[in-house]
Amino acid sequence: MAQVLISPVPKILSHFRFILTLRSEEGKYHSLILFRLSPSPSLVYQESDNGVGRKVESDALGSASNRQIYVMEATCPHLGAEMSHADIEEYEDSVVAVCPWHRYDFDLKTGKSETGLRTCTYAVQIKTDQGTGDEQVWMEAPDGGRNWRVVELRPVSEEFADPPPLLKRASADSGDGHVAPQEELEPIVPEENPPKTLMEWAVLILNTPNPTLKVERTRYAVNAFRTGAITSIGHKAAHPPVPPAKPSREAYMKIVQPGKIQSGKRRNRVVMLHALANIEQWAIDLAWDIMARFGPMHKDLPPAFFSDFTKMALDESKHFSLLRARLSAFSTPYGSLPVHASLWDSATLTSRSLLSRLAIIHLVHEARGLDVNPKTIEKFRKAGDKDSVDVMEVIHADEVTHVTAGHRWFVWMCEKQRQWDGSDMDPIQVFRDEVRRCWRGDIKGPFNIEDREKAGLSKEFYEDLKGEMPFDNDEDEVRSTSKNTTSSLKTDGAVNVKSVQQEPTTRVEYES
């Protein structure tokens, strides 16, 4: 029986539930949930090498053979609800996970449910590495692929996300000491016509100009979707809500053209942190927009698509909040410096094709972030700004998973198109065609080869990659360069070119 190495045992002792994503040699993805249950472990203090004490589980110091570790499918086989927030119920002879949407229960060992349904579960073993003596967690490999590997292992719960946000706030303070002039925040859940579906929440958040309220509503909506308070995605409705062409911003935000903002080397950390926070604010909207705009266009998108992008929306909200807190440390409120909206120009350009959106936003813009982030982190480190280093390391780790999600659904779209009409939809060639049509100029290195590979991007994706999009408004010229990659899709794949001032990426550097 083929097996997959999940991780060393100590890596899963920090939390009890983990999102687990595998990718096969063929490029297939598999989403799973790892549950770790411990029989009433006691907490003891262990002294680390530097003399700092920390609490650890007492049985973490010895053998892990008695620990209950289970791996099952990430979604319920009934209607695709996410199982990351399933209730765990223990009986005399079994442990079951209960779906948060409709209370379907599944045995964590057999996958069987009293309803007659069944989900896939995977046998887990603790093995000792013969070379190091370290204990490792291994699982049974899924069918349908070779040489599976872990590309994501992250806790379901993070300090930012748990406990879930309150419906009432103590004040209108954003959490970093900044309240815009005469700013009064609306309720997180509107009192009139509150959203009932994920699509309605997505459009509400896109139409929310206040950055604090946007974060709060994102946290609330994602938690409601995960825990079953929202049980309908809503993308198959006859008349789904329509997302705005461009998300609004508060009146006090000064939005200028990219060229009007200081370029080149940034002279201080404040300007850099503010620029990064602005990118994350638009990234929140991009995560909601891809669901609201393309869900109704592609009604066959599975629930896993929406699980991935709600997680991404929550991540971007976390990133924005972390960066805004760093701005607060420098007594600089977010919005006190000019910002630009060039990232949304790419969203406008790709607003009619999901393949184009995934290619340009996630496999170009976000992938470029993987290249730039390590240098940004090093700049902060040289300046002695450990707190900003810590924030950027969290952001970078999350962004690897975002590029992974973009790659996963780009490949999925290519496969669906191939099944639909038999066309040759090689993901690498389709991607390069999308970049050629929807990007301007060369995409240059140096590239973060290691993290790009983790995210599924081999060198064939990005080496010698160049966009050929014209700089005028001639849509026919753009369409004529297409090799029918997106225009042959079931939905209109034409590109809406609007004289976009596009930049390869936003690079922000500074001198200490």
For residue 28, what are the domain limits?
3-40+61-155
Specify whether 351 is located in the same domain as 418. Answer: yes
Specify whether 100 is located in the same domain as 203. Answer: no
pLDDT score for 237:
95
What is residue 69's DSSP assignment?
E
pLDDT score for 486:
38
Quick check: is 183 in a domain?
Answer: no
pLDDT band at 143 (very low <50, low <70, confident <90, very high): very high
Specify whether 416 is located in the same domain as 302. Answer: yes
Residue pLDDT, tens place only, 8-64? 999 999 899 999 999 999 999 999 999 998 654 443 334 344 333 344 444 443 444
Longest dimension (CA), the chain: 70
Gap between the Cα atoms of 354 and 272, Å rounded:
31
Residue 400 belongs to what H/E stretch? helix 386-421
pLDDT band at 268 (very low <50, low <70, confident <90, very high): confident
pLDDT score for 491:
36
Query: Is-contact 274 189, C-beta < 8 A?
Result: no
pLDDT score for 39:
55
354-380 average pLDDT score: 96
233-248 average pLDDT score: 96
pLDDT band at 497 (very low <50, low <70, confident <90, very high): very low
pLDDT score for 47:
38
Specify whether 259 is located in the same domain as 345. Answer: yes
Residue written as tokens 């997505």? Answer: 202
pTM of this structure: 0.81
Residue 383 belongs to what H/E stretch? none
Query: Is-contact 158 36, C-beta < 8 A?
Result: no
Gap between the Cα atoms of 475 and 352, Å rounded:
13
Specify whether 338 is located in the same domain as 480. Answer: yes
321-340 average pLDDT score: 93
Quick check: is 457 in a domain?
Answer: yes
310-333 average pLDDT score: 95
447-468 average pLDDT score: 95
Quick check: is 468 in a domain?
Answer: yes
Domain closes at, from 104, 131, 155: 155
Specify whether 234 is located in the same domain as 148. Answer: no
Specify whether 345 is located in the same domain as 433. Answer: yes
Q: Range with the lowest mean pLDDT among 54-68, 120-134, 274-288, 403-417? A: 54-68
Gap between the Cα atoms of 1 and 4, Å rounded:
10
Q: Range with the lowest mean pLDDT among 146-155, 443-452, 465-474? A: 465-474
pLDDT band at 421 (very low <50, low <70, confident <90, very high): confident
Q: With a cut of 60, say whether residue 158 has pLDDT above it.
A: no
Quick check: is 136 in a domain?
Answer: yes
pLDDT score for 493:
32
Say which amino acid occupies 428: I
Q: Distances from the Cα of 201 to the Cαs of 53, 222, 345, 350, in angstroms?
A: 44, 9, 23, 22
Q: With a cut of 90, say whether residue 157 has pLDDT above it.
A: no
388-398 average pLDDT score: 96
Specify whether 257 is located in the same domain as 205. Answer: yes
Query: Is-contact 437 357, C-beta < 8 A?
Result: no
186-215 average pLDDT score: 96
Outline where 207-341 has alpha helix (H). Answer: 211-227, 269-294, 303-329
Q: Range with the lowest mean pLDDT among 173-177, 225-229, 380-384? A: 173-177
Domain closes at, from 96, 131, 155: 155
Specify whether 144 is located in the same domain as 215. Answer: no
pLDDT score for 475:
42
What is residue 116's DSSP assignment?
S
Residue 395 belongs to what H/E stretch? helix 386-421
Specify whether 265 is located in the same domain as 150. Answer: no
Query: Is the Cα dihedral 261, 262, 264, 268 positive or negative?
Result: negative
Integer-rounded Cα Rg, in Å, for the chain is 23
User: Percent of the chain, pLDDT > 90?
Assistant: 69
pLDDT score for 136:
95
pLDDT score for 259:
67
Tell me the residue ranges of DSSP E strands in 159-271: 265-266
pLDDT score for 463:
95
Quick check: is 179 in a domain?
Answer: no
Quick check: is 192 in a domain?
Answer: no
What is residue 171's DSSP assignment?
S
Specify whether 405 is located in the same domain as 504. Answer: yes
328-344 average pLDDT score: 92
Query: Is-contact 510 388, C-beta < 8 A?
Result: no
Domain closes at, from 155, 187, 208: 155
pLDDT score for 309:
97
Quick check: is 175 in a domain?
Answer: no
CATH number at residue 77: 2.102.10.10
Exposed (0-12), middle (13-18) or buried (19+): which is 339, by Cβ within 10 Å?
Answer: buried
Specify whether 265 is located in the same domain as 127. Answer: no
Quick check: is 165 in a domain?
Answer: no
User: Percent of the chain, pLDDT > 70?
Assistant: 79
Number of domains in the chain: 2
Q: With a cut of 70, say whether residue 177 has pLDDT above it.
A: no
